[in-house]
Amino acid sequence: MMNSRLPVENADTVSLVCALLVRFPELASIRSMPAERNVRLTFALRTRLDKPAQASLADALADHVDGYLLLVKDEAQTLRVECESDRTVSFVHVTRDTESFSKEELELLVAFFADRFGEALVRSPQPEDAFDADPVAQDESALYAIEALRDPTQSKSLVGFREEARVLVYFIKSRKAKASSRR
């Protein structure tokens, strides 16, 4: 008898993205875009970044990432920094290609934001059972998560983010443009 049920797509990827958000409480969200072979990391800041500050931040981030990639003898195919700001909060979206992106680069990005913005960088509070967490296991899960985001068989985009004390991960349906048939 043949099983006609489709497997849950990349259930491991969902768990690993959760582990990545737990390991890096500085990340507000992660979005995988397998069709574009990109990942978008979002950092939240308790400060408004005006246009000159946004441009300065984008230049500094590009310099850090390019410098890191030069050291490891790699090159970014995609590196985009976009900012959204209102009166009191800014969201910084860093889009990277999954091919050259690594856990070490993520650690560099987190350190960059922590150093540059200090207390203005929004960090998720540590869960009450955090003292039981094994840092080596968390690092290993983060490494596997980044590898899972590279998986060429993954076809659905997903987004993981925090809501209060929880990490939520959703698959995103792709939106295809339809031609209008109005006359």
Give per-residue pLDDT as tens, 8-59: 455 666 777 888 888 899 999 998 888 899 999 999 999 999 999 999 999 9
CB 66 within 8 A of CB 77: no
Tokens representing 132 are: 């039981």
pLDDT in tens, 116-158: 999 999 998 765 555 456 777 777 877 777 777 777 677 677 6
Residue with tokens 């690594």: 102
160-177: average pLDDT: 65
Percentage, residues of the chain above pLDDT 70: 75
**What three-state secondary structure class fits 119?**
helix
Q: Between the CA atoms of 119, 80, 66 and 40, what dihedral angle is there, to the nearest 10 degrees?
A: 60
Determine contact, residues 94/81, Cβ cutoff 8 Å. Answer: yes
Q: Between 7 and 96, where is the model more confident?
A: 96
Contact 68, 104 (CB under 8 A): yes
Token pair 């967490």: residue:
133
The more confidently predicted of residues 12 and 4 is: 12
Residue 6 pLDDT level (bands cut at 50, 70, 90) = very low
pLDDT at 72 over 90: yes
pLDDT at 118: 96
Which residues, listed in sequence order, are joined to residue 29 by a DSSP beta bridge? 42, 161
Are 145 and 20 spatial neighbours (Cβ–Cβ below 8 Å)?
yes
**Where do the structural domains in the chain lie, given as residue ranges?**
11-172
